[in-house]
Amino acid sequence: MVFNTNSLKGKNIAITGATKGIGRATAMLLSSLGANLLLGARDVIHLQDLTSSFSGSQSNVIVQYLNVEEEKSIMEFLNLGLSKLGKIDALVNCAGYGLFNSFLDLTTEEFDRMISVNLRGSFLTSKHFANHMVRNKRGQIININSIAGNIVLEGNSGYSASKFGLLGLTKVMQLELRKQGVFVTSILPGSTNTSFWDHIDNHPDKSKMIPQEVIAMNIASVLCQPEGAVVEEITITPPLGVL
């Protein structure tokens, strides 16, 4: 993948769900490319581990507790970033939650949690960061969705509901925010080799999944897009297709 990494140097980028999986891989890559980072997640222990990973980094890295289910937490996250960095150029929404269960066996609590994190959390985070970007008349938002957001998979009723909703939300964001200088991209990965699968029985062979670093590279490429065109949606699948 070829892109101009120089454009990332000094760019201020916020990442939610930054302690694991795609979020962590993206943070590590963007830091190595010179971006300043505002990183948030709800796991305090992993946040501490993440901080040590950036020792000696040439980038400015700010790590903050963030629960995307709580609007107050999101506003505190944004305000800290603005106080330390002055502005936010891009937001990458990686925070997510999912489990697989049959439609009849899925509990109300499980369904609500997926909607709350994947859809409502992305809405709230995007809304507050977008308001800041609109005032600057410039910005990027990347929503990490899932291939489950546009195809039907058995045992995926709650997860797909949240991700189909996120895809629709992202499309409206694209339509409304582009007029104000803020461009939005939806990335829909297929099965990716992350800790997402650790609590899921009978998951596909992880060696056949997409490496999380590959998703991070695609995110970086979107952030490096030259002016004159906008990447609105990327679907990424394992070499063997849907697993």
Whether pLDDT at 78 is above 60: yes
- Region for residue 140 given its phi and psi (left: phi exceeds 0; alpha: psi -120 to 50; beta: otherwise): beta
pTM here is 0.93
Please check whether residue 166 lies inside any domain of the structure: yes
Domain that holds residue 202: 5-236
pLDDT value of position 241: 75
Please check whether residue 144 lies inside any domain of the structure: yes
Please check whether residue 18 lies inside any domain of the structure: yes
Count of domains forming the chain = 1
Please check whether residue 9 lies inside any domain of the structure: yes
Catalytic residue annotation: 159
High-pLDDT (> 90) share of the chain, %: 73
Please check whether residue 242 lies inside any domain of the structure: no
CATH of the domain at 187: 3.40.50.720
Average pLDDT, the chain: 91
Whether pLDDT at 57 is above 70: no
Alpha-carbon span 172 to 68, nearest angstrom: 20
The pairing of strands 139-144 and 36-41 is unpaired
pLDDT value of position 1: 45
Mean pLDDT to the nearest integer, 206-220: 91
Whether pLDDT at 93 is above 60: yes
pLDDT value of position 243: 60
Please check whether residue 243 lies inside any domain of the structure: no
Per-residue pLDDT tens over the stretch 103-116: 999 999 999 999 99
Please check whether residue 241 lies inside any domain of the structure: no
Q: According to DSSP H, which parts of the chain are helical?
A: 21-32, 44-53, 71-85, 108-114, 121-136, 157-177, 212-223
Task: Describe the strand order of the beta sheet including 12-16 as a list of residue ranges.
Answer: 61-65, 36-41, 12-16, 90-93, 139-144, 182-189, 233-236
Q: What three-state secondary structure class fits 192?
A: strand
Please check whether residue 175 lies inside any domain of the structure: yes
